[in-house]
Amino acid sequence: MTAPARRYGAAVRALIRGRSRSTTPRILLALIIALMAATLLVLVTGLMVAERGRNAADAVRTRAVPAVSGIVAARTALVRADAAAVESLRTGARLVGPGEHFYNQIAIAVQGLTRAAGANLAGEPGNRKLRLAAGLLTSYTRLVQQAATHPDGEAGELLRARDLYSASQLLHDPDGGALAHLDGLLADYDRALHGRVEAGARHPGAVLPWALATAVAAALLVAALVFFARRFRRLVNAGLAAALALLLCQAWVVLGVVSAHDHLRRASDALSGLVHQDRSAAGAKDREALRDLVLRACGHDDPARCGETVARFATRVADRPAARGADDDGRIRQGEEAGNQAAADTAAEAAAMAGDAAGRQPLLAALAALAAVAVYLGFRPRLNEYRYRST
């Protein structure tokens, strides 16, 4: 054991055993121990707040953004693929099959699903839904490809209509279609996203302990300053004043992390906007095209003469008319894509900012260490004084 350590050990033992009749050394010892403990507690709870913020930001950036944008992209691509298939096969382009555009959109849809699967935002239940959607996508693609193989002529047209209608139902069926599954998945993602954001830097379980620890540390420092001023007739103890300033700096840094949570909330709102986007207009025109194709294959203008399924389908299409004019549908989709892109960019940017704010943990640690040193320096002259008195 070194000589200074032996000396301090003896002083502490003396203080504890209470050889001295004065209460001042005991108060000094109690104060320094309490202040060191409070400084450590402020550091630990501050780091917890920052860690929660970082985790939530990482989850938004690396999981929620790719998952939601992946599913939205897949959904849009599937609607477009369906439109491309109907358009290509309606115009009798049998030789080119469903067309290059169809295959491009299917590839985009597959990429989107893969991106979402990699993000794994909603855990195993989400992955199961993804696999189901992927299975339906395979059946859908197969049916469209089959529709393209039928020869021209009445019979071929009829079979093509049957296959395209079946394929389209695999996508659009509200009770079990691929789009319905993707919508359900988006709702799951939305819940998971909100759960992760709420568990971030503003979670009461993190903020309250930190606020309490900071308040206790500040109160102890003020009490120590008052004690020093009264007992030793010093206006201000420089070390303790510095420690108080450093504590305020730590609070400033942690509050920065907590306020950065707003960015995360904005990101979350942008993603929720994507989830809850009204997509009813998109695809309506394609459904009209499919209805016309089916009626032409059936050979009647009156849907009721083509059986109950066609009659019901025609009613559903009529209930949800497409936007007027051929270009409007395209504009709807362009707007949708621009909105998707903007929301995804905002989400990524906000998440990055929140992540940056939460990444200030080393600064917090440095400030806490300096505060501890400042407390020690503030106490050292008096401790030395009482050490000599007690020995």
Asked if residue 381 binds another protein (CB under 8 A), the reply is: no
Using the minimum distance from each CB to another protein, give the nearer residue, 140 or 210. Answer: 140
- Cα dihedral sign, 190-192-194-196: negative
Asked if residue 231 binds another protein (CB under 8 A), the reply is: no
First CA to last CA distance, the chain: 18
> Which of 306, 343, 350, 371 lies at the binding interface for another protein (CB under 8 A)?
306
Distance between CA 87 and CA 144 in Å, rounded? 12
Using the minimum distance from each CB to another protein, give the nearer residue, 128 or 276. Answer: 128
Segment 112 to 141, residues that bind another protein, using CB under 8 A = 124-125, 128, 131-132, 134-136, 138-139
> Which of 92, 205, 307, 335 lies at the binding interface for another protein (CB under 8 A)?
307
Q: Which of the stretches 32-40, 53-61, 97-105, 290-298 binds another protein when contact is defined by CB under 8 A?
A: 290-298
Radius of gyration of the chain, Cα coordinates, nearest whole angstrom:
34
Asked if residue 192 binds another protein (CB under 8 A), the reply is: no
Instruction: Label residue 207 exposed, middle or buried (CB < 10 Å: 0-12, 13-18, 19+).
Output: buried
Q: Which of the stretches 27-35, 163-171, 327-335, 355-363 binds another protein when contact is defined by CB under 8 A?
A: 163-171
CA distances from 254 to 35, 201, 203, 268, 300 (A): 19, 9, 13, 21, 71
Asked if residue 314 binds another protein (CB under 8 A), the reply is: no
> Which of 158, 218, 365, 377 lies at the binding interface for another protein (CB under 8 A)?
158
Using the minimum distance from each CB to another protein, give the nearer residue, 173 or 356. Answer: 173
Length of the chain: 391
Q: Do 109 and 77 touch, CB atoms closer than 8 A?
A: yes
Asked if residue 89 binds another protein (CB under 8 A), the reply is: no
Using the minimum distance from each CB to another protein, give the nearer residue, 42 or 86. Answer: 86
Using the minimum distance from each CB to another protein, give the nearer residue, 291 or 360. Answer: 291
Asked if residue 175 binds another protein (CB under 8 A), the reply is: yes
Asked if residue 319 binds another protein (CB under 8 A), the reply is: no
Asked if residue 299 binds another protein (CB under 8 A), the reply is: yes
Asked if residue 312 binds another protein (CB under 8 A), the reply is: yes
Asked if residue 298 binds another protein (CB under 8 A), the reply is: yes
- Smallest gap from Cβ 319 to another protein, in A, equals 14
What is the DSSP track for 244-308?
HHHHHHHHHHHHHHHHHHHHHHHHHHHHHHHHT---SSTTHHHHHHHHHHHHHHHT-SSGGGG-H
| Cα 190 from chain centre | 9
What is the DSSP track for 68-119?
HHHHHHHHHHHHHHHHHHHHHHHTT-GGGTT-HHHHHHHHHHHHHHHHHHHH
Distance between CA 248 and CA 256 in Å, rounded? 12
Catalog residues that contact another protein under the rule CB under 8 A: 124-125, 128, 131-132, 134-136, 138-139, 142-143, 154-156, 158-159, 161-162, 165-166, 169-170, 175-176, 294, 297-300, 305-310, 312
